[in-house]
Amino acid sequence: MNDQYGRRIHYLRVSVTDRCGLRCRYCMPEEGVEWVEHSRILSYEQIVRLVRAAAGLGIDTVRLTGGEPLVRKGLDKLVWAVKAIDGIRAVTLTTNGVLLAQQLPALCAAGLDGVNLSLDTLDRGQYAAITRRDLLPRALEGLEAALNTPGLKVKLNCVPMGDNDDQLVPLAALARDRALDVRFIELMPIGLGSSLPRRTQAEVLEKLEGAFGPALPCAQGGGSGPGRYVTFAGFTGRVGFISAVSHQFCESCNRVRLTATGFLKTCLQYETGVNLKALLESGADGAAIRAAMEGAVFAKPACHHFSAAGTAEDERRSMYQIGG
Ligand code: SAM
Ligand code: SF4
């Protein structure tokens, strides 16, 4: 599928739930989260139908996300079904890792290709303050289980947001001894992320170079995303930056998102897209669904404008409602 600007869209992020056991400060409020009723969430059968339609249009990579995707029961069955769709080459998962160790064997047996684990600190007290849950040991168990799974591509995602300034070097150091990509994701001014201090790529890199010496160029391959990678002397893995605000990468954007309620969202910052769940439930056939997807993707906005003043279509949802 190409959009009106000639970008090839082949990557679909699928949110399977808005629920999560953590309450990360930049993503969810501590209290009073209003969950979507179950009837409004796509069933696995509906997700599979929509991914099949998308695969017919050239989507070849699917990332399952949330909320926390592992809180939804039977996720391995969804991995298995999506992997079996013609044209889907890779199915990956973004998770906070808390439930990963116990579910990883079934997920891998179903054909999971990779895991991105979100972890902002290695300090237990700080983790409890950022996520509002004292679950660092469980997240680390998940990371360890992923790293010990042969053939599984593992990346660690950290959002630098002031509170974890002292943890950027220890987190990056995990890539020294292990075949791991540690990536720093610039805080985006979406939902609760708007009110926290952002640390830019330049600020993080300066800190890392202070600890590890000059950043060295390295192969950029291995993913379909916007990460830009460097390495440091003596490192086995890489350190990546996903800097949507300071280094906008919209020109090479290759993705769209399917929210848990079945909205095909064509840009992270706007509410533009199409309600595919309503279409499915109106009895639309595969051709009609493909046509709706194509139309929405064609009209994908040129770029976000995080640094500008808001517009009427600005996204008002938080990241857990979108899927990150
Ligand atoms: N619960 C899973 C997790 O935490 O990995 C998946 C969903 S979470 C919404 C996906 C990613 O979005 C996480 O890596 C999280 O750190 C990131 N995220 C959430 N809010 C963000 C924001 N305002 N700016 C940048 N990244 C954000
Ligand atoms: Fe949950 Fe992920 Fe949001 Fe944290 S970032 S509250 S783990 S959905």
Distance CA 108, CA 113 (A): 7
Share of the chain above pLDDT 70, in %: 95
* Residue-wise pLDDT tens digits, 84-106: 999 999 999 999 999 999 999 99
Give the mean pLDDT of 129-150.
98
Q: Point out the ligand nearest to the CA of residue 130.
A: 2
Residue 163 is part of a domain; what is its CATH number?
A: 3.20.20.70
Give the mean pLDDT of 309-316.
52
Residue 314 has pLDDT above 60, yes or no: no
Q: Which of 159, 182, 184 to mutate to test the pocket of ligand 1 (most atoms within 8 A of CB)?
A: 159
* Residue-wise pLDDT tens digits, 273-291: 999 999 999 999 999 999 9
Q: Specify the number of domains making up the chain.
A: 1
Is residue 269 within 6 Å of ligand 1 at its C-beta? no
Is residue 184 within 6 Å of ligand 1 at its C-beta? no
Is residue 157 within 6 Å of ligand 1 at its C-beta? yes
Tokens standing for 177? 């001894």
Cβ–Cβ under 8 Å, residues 267 and 301: yes
Q: Whose CA is nearest to atom 4 of ligand 2?
A: 24
In this prediction, residue 219 carries a pLDDT of 86
In a domain? residue 141: yes
Run of H or E residues at 230 = strand 228-231
* Residue-averaged pLDDT of the chain: 92
More confident residue, 316 or 175: 175
In this prediction, residue 224 carries a pLDDT of 60
**pTM of structure:** 0.95
In a domain? residue 188: yes
Range of the domain at 92: 11-322
* Residue-wise pLDDT tens digits, 20-30: 999 999 999 99
In a domain? residue 1: no
Residue 317 has pLDDT above 80, yes or no: no
Q: CB count, 10 Å around CB of 48?
A: 17
In a domain? residue 2: no
